[in-house]
A = this chain, B = another copy of it.
Amino acid sequence: MVMLNFTYHAPTKVFFGKDSHKQIGEIIKGYGFRKIMMQYGKGSIKQNGLYDDVMASLNEHGIEVVECGGVSPNPNLEFVHEAVAIAKREQVEMILAVGGGSVLDSCKYTAAGAKYDGDVWDFPTRKAVLADALPVGCILTIAAAGSEMSASAVVTNEAECQKRGFGSDLNRCLFAVCNPELTYTVSPYQTGCGIVDSMAHTMERYFIDCEPTPLTDRLAESVLHSLVDAGRVLMEDPRDYEARATAMWGSSLAHNGLTGCGRGDFLAVHQLEHAISGEYPAVAHGAGLAVLFPAWAKFCYHRNVPRFAQFARRVWDITEPDDEKAALCGIEAMADFFKSLGMPSTLREFGIAEEKIPRLCDLCTNNGTRVIPSYIPMDYDAVKQIFESCY
């Protein structure tokens, strides 16, 4: 057995660094677009000056802008439906996201819907395969979801209480403008959620049950170690440029495919988390992952002790020579680090009632009919055991 064959394709052009967002008009004009839709969130970009900077650059380069503000965290399908209608009516040529993963994912669904006659919910529910989409570009304001380079897009269908995603190369951004300074004002809690989310994207691939991949392993460990270092600095100094830059570039590399080469990109623990933040939209995705990842690791580490020992030594600098002990120390170090980022460590802290656990298990496993691949395949009972262990 050898490492898996893979296809690697991360075509997004990244403009990274100080003041990079001020080039946005020039960048878009360079691609030849004249009329765009611009989506953003609840308006913080109007308070911090970003909106003005962006509009000034777009106006300077004669780009016509159809605005579509008000994207919510965990973007919802209803908003996307409205945006698709506007994009079609206005015949915009591309969609610009100014925001974080939620705004980006809303834009990706809008871009898909603008070139599709049916309901975009058909894509995550596998009723249709995405065949065409408008180009999407972004100005990133939160380092977390990795959506700026990833092939995935997640949306919440509030009517059905379901959060679902799908992957397609057409979901990859044409370009991403990443200025770490734009994240200086992200709250410590959201910064922590972002670090956890980026780490989870890397760890999910790192812990896929497959043959060893020495180079991919080391790259993943590099991303993780750097994110840990950056997270520690940012809890002390939210305006440390290098740490913000590491968190931002790390979020992109964690989810653009690089850390999964030869391993695959199935995100098992995300399946558990989507049930939680789908059912409880107030739960931040990263916070959900911070609770679930250590619980998942304790549940199944014993099926691959050398792997968890390597993780402990290379990411957490654990020097314990015994593999079993090292593996457990690594999981503890991860849990402690997440706590140091201000993350919760139990589902209870989200205000979820214990009797709701069966409902969450049903959501993860499609009423017990689906088994999620992992070191220990996760059926209804396994998921229940994990949820109870971190309640």
User: Which of B2, B218, B230, B241 interacts with A222 by CB under 8 Å?
Assistant: B218
Q: Is A337 an interface residue (CB 8 A)?
A: no
Closest Cβ of chain B to A156, distance in Å, is 31
Q: Is A225 an interface residue (CB 8 A)?
A: yes
User: A250 to chain B: which residues have CB within 8 Å?
Assistant: 215
Q: Is A5 an interface residue (CB 8 A)?
A: yes
- CB nearest to A172 among chain B residues: B11
Q: Is A310 an interface residue (CB 8 A)?
A: no
Q: Is A214 an interface residue (CB 8 A)?
A: yes
Interface centre among A212, A215, A226, A229 (most CB of B within 10 A): A215
Instruction: Say yes or no: B222 contacts A245, CB within 8 Å.
Output: no
Closest Cβ of chain B to A216, distance in Å, is 8
Assembly CA distance A36 to B122 (angstroms): 38
Q: Is A13 an interface residue (CB 8 A)?
A: yes
Closest Cβ of chain B to A260, distance in Å, is 12
Q: Is A14 an interface residue (CB 8 A)?
A: yes
User: A7 to chain B: which residues have CB within 8 Å?
Assistant: 13-16
User: A245 to chain B: which residues have CB within 8 Å?
Assistant: 2-3, 215, 262
User: A10 to chain B: which residues have CB within 8 Å?
Assistant: 10-11
Instruction: Say yes or no: B225 contacts A218, CB within 8 Å.
Output: yes
Instruction: Say yes or no: B16 contacts A5, CB within 8 Å.
Output: yes
Interface string of A196-235 (1 = CB under 8 A from B): 0000000000000000101100110111011001100000
- We find that the number of chain A residues with CB closer than 8 angstroms to chain B is 40
Closest Cβ of chain B to A40, distance in Å, is 24
User: Which of B15, B229, B261 interacts with A214 by CB under 8 Å?
Assistant: B229
User: Which of B13, B18, B262 interacts with A9 by CB under 8 Å?
Assistant: B13
Q: With contacts A18-B2, A261-B16 known, is A246 near B215, CB below 8 A?
A: yes
- CB nearest to A19 among chain B residues: B5
Assembly CA distance A348 to B261 (angstroms): 42
Interface string of A238-278 (1 = CB under 8 A from B): 00011001100110010000100110000000000000000
Q: Is A4 an interface residue (CB 8 A)?
A: yes
Having A7-B16, A218-B223, A221-B222, one finds 19 other A-B pairs with CB under 8 Å, namely A3-B17, A5-B20, A6-B14, A7-B13, A8-B13, A8-B16, A9-B13, A11-B11, A16-B261, A17-B262, A212-B242, A214-B230, A215-B223, A215-B226, A215-B245, A218-B222, A219-B222, A219-B223, A222-B222
What are 13 contact pairs spanning A and B, CB under 8 A?
A2-B18, A3-B17, A7-B15, A7-B16, A8-B14, A11-B13, A214-B230, A214-B246, A218-B223, A218-B225, A219-B223, A249-B261, A249-B262
